[in-house]
Amino acid sequence: MESGVDRSSAAKPLVFVGGTAILADHLLSNAVVICREGKIESVGDSQPIPEDSEIIDLQGVYLSPGFVDLHVHGGDGADFMDGDEHAVRTAAAAHLRGGTTTIFPTSTTGSPQLIHRMIDACQSVSQESLQHLANASPLANTTALPHLPGIHLYGPFFAAGKVGCHDANGRRDPEQNEYQSYFDRDFVRIATCAAELPGATSFYRMAAEKKCLITCGHSNSSWTEMQAAFDAGMRHVDHFWCAMSSVPSLRARFQVPMQASMTEFVLMQAAMSTEVISDGCHLAPELLEFAYRMKGPDRLCLVTDANRAYGMPPGEYVFGHRDSGGWLFSDGNVGWTLDRSSLASSVQGMDQMVAHFAQSTSATLPEVIRMASLTPAERAGIDHETGSLSPGKRADLLVLDPDLKIQQIYVQGRRV
């Protein structure tokens, strides 16, 4: 993939012809997609092509919207929690390579100082990326990046017994003075807290005031606790079946009668959405199929949950801040705890999540792409900007071959 942007594509209308456009609910063969000034102008199967256009002949392959990742920690040796601009650029650029054109850098457990430094770095790179895309020529010493509309405040408000590969010393209950300092930055777009923690309801209410996608994750909460969270605005559960409660885990907590868990609550509540890591290692095909059939493509998102080992050779890596995070082992396919007893995040990109979900379930191609683009955009409240091949949205586009391998990537109408 080339670094920077193609100046010629910024100067002329960009027109894609001769391929199949993957729309939100169907495939459009022999599509003509016209982009101008970084946005999609029109989509059809027969329309006049402006003079002096740059024409991209797709030669029968697919044109897809760029992917949107709600839950991602790092890549190419960097973690967003490293808290410097170089790490943010490195990790974001790694996921652009996998087709993610909009990314929500995701925090881990850690001190308030580390989380604020992470927000600082992400805000700075987000502004730099916007300036880069606004210019006709690339800025010096910059690399093409996905859009960074905000962060996912994920750690540190986890249940003590559900920390997973995150550093347990950085976990804590939510305190208003702390989380308000994050929300006041006006850059938190997704906010996670375990529903059973004291103070969780107040956290959710403040997140709702800030119009965040509010999620419950790394939690051993019961139906009753999930209902209270739902009433306060919570509408999403992180990585389904991973680091979440079950009927057996609640039996240990509450004894008898057995309690309904996060799983049952998400499946019963039509307004609830969730996400799956479809890397072929976290969940078997039947679980992916079950999640797809139970929630449908408009309430199920694909995420990478990738760590800094994405794009790197097998070996041991730090999860979270480079100096204070916990350690994991990557075998090249997935992350493991060092003792190999449990999984520890993903080491694959969104392109691989999409391809595996398509191969492993009965979902149609438009549905699979929707779960990696429009559905997460809707949940994060940015679907007016991106997530589908629709007029007026950013021209964040992927050219995919029949095996869904990425051939070309466009950010705001510029090939990267």
CB atoms within 10 A of CB 181: 14
Would you state the pLDDT for residue 129? Answer: 81
Angle between helices 223-231 and 200-209 (to 10 degrees): 30
Which among 69, 167, 238, 305 is annotated as catalytic? 305
User: Could you tell me which residues are annotated as the binding site for Zn(2+)?
Assistant: 218, 239
Would you state the pLDDT for residue 130? Answer: 81
In angstroms, rounded to a whole number, what is the distance separating the alpha carbons of residues 192 and 342? Answer: 22
**Structure letter (DSSP) for residue 82:** G
Residues of the chain with pLDDT under 50: 1-10, 136-142
User: Could you tell me the domains of the chain?
Assistant: 7-64+402-415 (2.30.40.10), 67-386 (3.20.20.140)
In angstroms, rounded to a whole number, what is the distance separating the alpha carbons of residues 349 and 72? Answer: 9
In angstroms, rounded to a whole number, what is the distance separating the alpha carbons of residues 156 and 108? Answer: 6
Phi first, then psi, for residue 410 (nearest 5°) are: -125, 130
**What's the pTM value of the predicted model, to 2 decimals?**
0.95
Kindly report, residue by residue over 265-276, the tens digit of the pLDDT. 999 999 999 999
CB 231, CB 267: distance < 8 Å: no
Give 336's strand partners. Answer: 329, 343
Would you state the pLDDT for residue 187? Answer: 98
CB 153, CB 310: distance < 8 Å: no
Would you state the pLDDT for residue 46? Answer: 84
In angstroms, rounded to a whole number, what is the distance separating the alpha carbons of residues 314 and 329? Answer: 7
User: Could you tell me which residues are annotated as the binding site?
Assistant: 218, 239
In angstroms, rounded to a whole number, what is the distance separating the alpha carbons of residues 191 and 119? Answer: 13
Write the CB contacts of 82 (distance below 8 Å, at least 6 apart in sequence). 74, 118, 121, 321, 322
Write the CB contacts of 252 (distance below 8 Å, at least 6 apart in sequence). none
In angstroms, rounded to a whole number, what is the distance separating the alpha carbons of residues 69 and 304? Answer: 7
149 to 3, 85, 122, 330, 394: CA distances (angstroms): 21, 15, 9, 29, 13
Longest dimension (CA), the chain: 73
DSSP string, 197-247: STTHHHHHHHHHHTTPEEEE-S---BHHHHHHHHHTT--EESSTTSS---H
Would you state the pLDDT for residue 143? Answer: 67
Kindly report, residue by residue over 5-23, the tens digit of the pLDDT. 444 444 689 999 999 999 9
Helical spans, DSSP H, in 56-157:
85-97, 112-134
Active site residue 52: no
